[in-house]
Structure 1
Amino acid sequence: MDSNLKKWSAEFIGTFWLTLGGCGSAVLAAAFPGVGIGLLGVSLAFGLTVVTGAYALGPISGGHFNPAVSIGLAVGKRFPASGLLGYIVAQVLGACAAAGVLYLIVSGKADFDAAKAFSGAGAFATNGYGARSPGGFSLLSVLVCEVVMTAIFLVVILGSTAKRAAGAFGGLSIGLCLTLVHLISIPVSNTSVNPARSTGPALFVPAAMGDLWLFWAAPIVGAILGAVIYNALLSDD
C-alpha cells in the first residue's frame, strides 16, 4: 500500500475512534440512568481514545487525529506543510463517519425523538457558545477557552514528542492532557480543540452548524500560538 494512503488511513481511523469514543460516551453514557459516567467519564473517554490511538496508529501517521494539531505541528516544523491537505481531509472524513455511526446507534432506541435529541446546548455532543454552551458562556469566553486550551495542548504535544522526551510515554502524556482539557472546558464549550471532532456531530444538528466556524478558527489559532510559544521559548531543536 502507498505510504501516503497508509498515513491517511491511520488518520481516518484514529479520528473516527476519537470522535466515536469521546462523543459516543457523551451521548450514550454520560447521563445513563443511575450509572452515568458524567463529566469525568467523558473527559477520560476522550483521553483514552488518544492514548490508544497514539500507540496503535502513531507509528504509521504520527497520530494527529486533529486538523489543528496537524497545522500546529507544521508550524512547529515537526510535519511537512505539503502533507496537511491529505491529513485534514482524512481526519474530517473519519469524524463524519463516526458521527454517522453514532447517529445509527442513537436513532435505534425505541423512544428516539430526533427533535429532542438534537436540540439544546451540547446536543449530540456538539459545541457552541451562548445558548448552545452547556454553561451559557459567551462567544468571547468560548473563544478564549478554545484558543488557550489548544495552545497548551500543542505545547504538551511538542514537548512530549521532542527528542529529549521519554518517547515511550508521549502518547500517555498527550492523552492525559486532553483529559484535563475536557475537565476544564466541557462546561464552557463542550470542548472542541479539534475542528474535525466538531464537524462530525454538527452535520446532524442544524443549529450547531452556525457555530462551527468558531470551532475551526479558535483551535487553529490556538495550535499556531502553542507552536510559536514552544519554538520561541522551549525548543532545543
Structure 2
Amino acid sequence: MAEVPVNIEPDSGFCSSPEVVQAIQKVIAELIGTYFLIFAGCCSVVLNNAEKTKGTVTFPGVCLVWGFSVTIMVYSLAHVSGAHFNPAVTITFALYRHFPLKLVPFYIIAQVLGSILASGTLYLLFEIDDNSYFGTKPAGTPIQSFIFEIITSCLLMFVVSAVSTDNRAIGKLGGIAVGMTITVDVFIAGPVSGASMNPARTFGPALVLHVYSGFWAYVVGPLVGALLGATCYNLIRYTDKPLREIGTSSKIFKIASSRPSFR
C-alpha cells in the first residue's frame, strides 16, 4: 500500500515570522544598550560625587565616560537596532520616515525600561544622597535647563542625522562622531542642566529616586531639540548622490576642474 504524503504546515505562531523575530531582537537590543549606557554614565556620576569616592572620576572623566559609552554601544548594536537608546531620536526618525512608526512604542518602552533597570541597579549598589544623585535636575532655573537641553539635543540629532541618514557621510566613523558629540554636550551643559538630551535617561533616575525637579524640561527639551536638529540637517541636504557625482554636475566644480593643475 502506497504511503500518502503528508503536507506539514509550517508553524504559523506569533514568533515564526522573520519580521517579528527581527523586531523582538531590535527591541531587546535597545533595552540592553540603554541599560549599559545609563549604568555606565550614571555610575561615573555617583563615583565622582559620593563621599567615599569623591573626585576620583573628575568632571572631564564623567564627560568621557558618557561619550565612550555611547560609542561602544553604537558599534555594538547599531547593526541590530540602529542604536537609538533615546525616545527623542526614535520619534524624530519616525517623523522623518527613517524608522517604522509601528516600532516606536516598543522602542520607547525598551529604552525607558533599560533606564529604570540601570537606575535600580545603581540604587542597590550605592547609598545615594543629594550629593551623589545621578539623575538630572536644573542647577539654575528650569527655563535655563530647557534651553540647554534644546541646544545640546539639536546638536546631537544634527550629527546623528548626518552620519546615519546621508549616504555621503563616512558611516564607519559615525559611532565616534556621535560619541564625541555627547562628550562635548556633557562638557557644556552638564554643570547647568545635567546634559540629559534623553527623556529615558532622566525618567529612570527620577522614578527610582522620586526626584522630579524640572522634569518637564528634560522631556520637552530633547524632543524639540531633536526635531530642530533633524530639520536643520534636512535643510542642507543637497542630494542623496555621492559627492563625486555632485562635483561633476556642479558648475563651480566644472570651472575649477578646467583650470590647470600646479601640482
Q: State if a TM-score over 0.5 links the two structures.
A: yes
Quick one: which amino acid aligns to residue 5 of structure 1? I
Q: Secondary structure at the match of 2:215?
A: coil
Quick one: which amino acid aligns to residue 160 of structure 2? I
One of 63, 87, 91 as aligned partner of 1:71: 91
Quick one: which amino acid aligns to residue 133 of structure 2? F
In structure 1, the residue matched to 2:217 is: 214
In structure 2, the residue matched to 1:24 is: 43
**How far off its partner does 1:225 sit?**
1.1
One of 25, 34, 40 as aligned partner of 1:6: 25
In structure 2, the residue matched to 1:62 is: 82
1:94 aligns with 2:114: yes
Q: For 1:151-176, what per-residue CA distance to the aligned partner results, in whole angstroms no more than 9, with x for missing partners? A: 11000001112211111110111011
Quick one: which amino acid aligns to residue 75 of structure 1? L
8 A Cα contact 1:75 1:228, kept in partner = no
In structure 2, the residue matched to 1:111 is: none
In structure 1, the residue matched to 2:125 is: 105
Query: Whole-Å Cα distance in 2 between the matches of residues 228 and 42 of structure 1?
Result: 30
In structure 2, the residue matched to 1:127 is: 136
Query: Whole-Å Cα distance in 1 between the matches of residues 179 and 238 of structure 2?
Result: 21
**How far off its partner does 1:67 sit?**
0.6
Query: Whole-Å Cα distance in 2 between the matches of residues 72 and 33 of structure 1?
Result: 39
Quick one: which amino acid aligns to residue 22 of structure 2? S
* Aligned CA-pair RMSD: 1.7
In structure 1, the residue matched to 2:226 is: 223
**How far off its partner does 1:186 sit?**
0.6
- 1:191-202 map, 5 Å: 191-202=195-206
8 A Cα contact 1:118 1:204, kept in partner = no
8 A Cα contact 1:182 1:191, kept in partner = yes
In structure 1, the residue matched to 2:209 is: 205
**How far off its partner does 1:33 sit?**
4.2
Q: Secondary structure at the match of 1:85?
A: helix
Quick one: which amino acid aligns to residue 118 of structure 1? D
One of 235, 248, 255 as aligned partner of 1:232: 235
**How far off its partner does 1:89 sit?**
0.5
1:51 aligns with 2:71: yes
If the length of structure 2 is used for normalisation, what is the TM-score? 0.78
**How far off its partner does 1:30 sit?**
5.1
Q: For 1:40-88, what per-residue CA distance to the aligned partner results, in whole angstroms no more than 9, with x for missing partners? A: 1111111111111011111100000111111122233321222211100
- 1:176-187 map, 5 Å: 176-187=180-191
If the length of structure 1 is used for normalisation, what is the TM-score? 0.87
Structure 1: segments with no counterpart, 5+ residues? 108-116
**How far off its partner does 1:35 sit?**
5.7
Give 4+ residue runs of structure 1 displaced > 4 Å after superposition.
30-35
One of 177, 184, 192 as aligned partner of 1:188: 192
Query: Whole-Å Cα distance in 1 between the matches of residues 33 and 238 of structure 2?
Result: 27
**How far off its partner does 1:119 sit?**
2.8
1:142 aligns with 2:153: no
Q: Secondary structure at the match of 1:204?
A: helix
In structure 1, the residue matched to 2:261 is: none
Structure 2: segments with no counterpart, 5+ residues? 1-14, 16-20, 241-263
Q: Secondary structure at the match of 2:208?
A: coil
Quick one: which amino acid aligns to residue 40 of structure 2? G
8 A Cα contact 2:149 2:217, kept in partner = no
Greater relative contact order (Cα 8 A, min sep 6): structure 1 or 2?
Answer: 1
Query: Whole-Å Cα distance in 1 between the matches of residues 195 and 55 of structure 2?
Result: 23
